[in-house]
Amino acid sequence: MRRLLFLLPLLLVAVLAVWIGWLLLSGRDPQALPSALIDKPLPPFTLAALPGRSDGVASTDFGGKPMLLNVFASWCVPCLAEHPVITKLGKEDGISVLAINYKDKPADALAWLKRNGDPYVRIGADADGRAAIDLGVYGVPETFVIDTAGRIRYRHPGPLTPDIVDREIRPLLAELAK
Amino acid sequence: MRLRPILAGLFLALALAAPAHAIEPQEQLADPALEHRARELGQELRCLVCQNQSIDDSNADLARDLRTIVRERLTAGDSDDQVLEFVTARYGDYVLLRPPFRTGTLILWFGPVVVLVAAIIALMLRRRRRALAEPAPLSPEESRRLARLLDEEKAP
């Protein structure tokens, strides 16, 4: 019995090692922060269109059906990396993806969209980044899932990958569309 | 070699050096009282891009925007708590460098104290048990062995 007690520290270290190993290997980003706005309505914002376009985006554009809100910028490299994933969601899955163009030069944003394709239903320019701060954005890209009532149901900080879309976003969108 | 005064001067300079802030002159408020409050708040808020610096210490764009927002809220007449609320409503408790006192953070606040008290109690119990435990009387086999050992010592 006493002998077993001496094994206790070893056991504790083993448990700790398994736990840390699991955290490391799960592919979870330790810097990703949970959103403070989950299940809350979108904060009110109205953003003007990029020059030469007539859309713009406002918080009142959401609702009715589940939609995605993507925060992007032409200067952001991970945005380029996730762009094919967003494009597939918009063009192939037929999901309405609305966008906030974060702290960008309008001409750069338009050129970027021309070069890489424009899967967005509407785009609003957030030149000073205030709408993004109201949304709790702390880095681009970020993607939100907005439900039929215009509430934020999910937020992914960082680039979307096909894996995240399959595991988290598609199931959620399907559930919300019911 | 007159190294000592040079070293003394160097250490004095290091001791006097204030921590570097990232706040730029044009960000500062004209009212020194408000600016002082803004600095105090800036030390409480975490820069979410770098995560281990306060917004006052960080050069990140988002940190600068948050510093500006803090100053705007203060100028608009918000109390310090209202400013912190404004930021936590958007970024959650994580943005506060000092975790708030809540049911969810009780372990954070009291965990170390509980572990320390538990350790002290465990040590005290152990000591008392040791002091109380009377050595068991020798078994007949042990007495024989002891006698034999003592005999061996006497023999030579």
Hey, where are the domains in chain A?
37-177
Q: How many residues does chain A have?
A: 178
Pairing mode, strands A46-47 and A122-126: unpaired
Separation CA B134–CA A165 (nearest Å):
69
Share of chain A above pLDDT 70, in %: 99
Query: At B119, which amino acid appears?
Result: A
pLDDT value, residue B15: 75
For residue A28, pLDDT beyond 80: no
Rounded to an integer, the average pLDDT of A163-178 is 93
Confidence (pLDDT) at A168: 92
Report pLDDT for B18.
Answer: 61
Class of domain A37-177: alpha beta
In contact, B131 and B88? CB cutoff 8 Å:
no
Res B131: pLDDT: 79
Q: How many residues does chain B have?
A: 156
Say yes or no for a CB contact (<8 Å) between A139 and B62: yes
Mean pLDDT score, A31-47: 92
What integer pLDDT is reported at residue A1 of this predicted model? 67
B115 touches chain A (CB under 8 A): no
Task: For residue A131, name the pLDDT band (cuts at 50, 70, 90).
Answer: very high
Instruction: Judge whether B49 is closer than 8 Å to chain A, CB to CB.
Output: yes
CB contact under 8 A, A138 and B62: yes
Residues 33-52 of chain A with CB under 8 A from chain B are 33-37, 43
pLDDT tens by residue, A134-164: 999 998 999 999 999 999 999 999 999 999 9
Its pTM stands at: 0.77
d(CA B139, CA B128): 25
Chain-chain contact of B49 with A35 (C-beta, under 8 angstroms): no
- Cα dist from B14 to B6, B8, B17, B57, B63, whole Å: 12, 10, 5, 18, 27
pLDDT for position A159: 94
Q: Kindly tell me if the per-residue pLDDT of A101 is higher than 70.
A: yes
Q: What gap in Å lies between CA A109 and CA A105, rounded to an integer? A: 6
Answer yes or no: is pLDDT of A67 > 90. Answer: yes
Q: Which residues of chain B have pLDDT under 50?
A: none
A135 touches chain B (CB under 8 A): yes
Output phi, psi for A62, to 5 deg.
-95, 160
Residue of A nearest to B66 (CA): A133
- The gap from C-alpha B23 to its chain's centroid, in whole angstroms, comes to 25
pLDDT of residue B17: 67
Kindly list the residues from chain A whose CB atom is less than 8 angstroms away from the CB atom of residue B94: 33-34
Residue A153: what pLDDT? 96
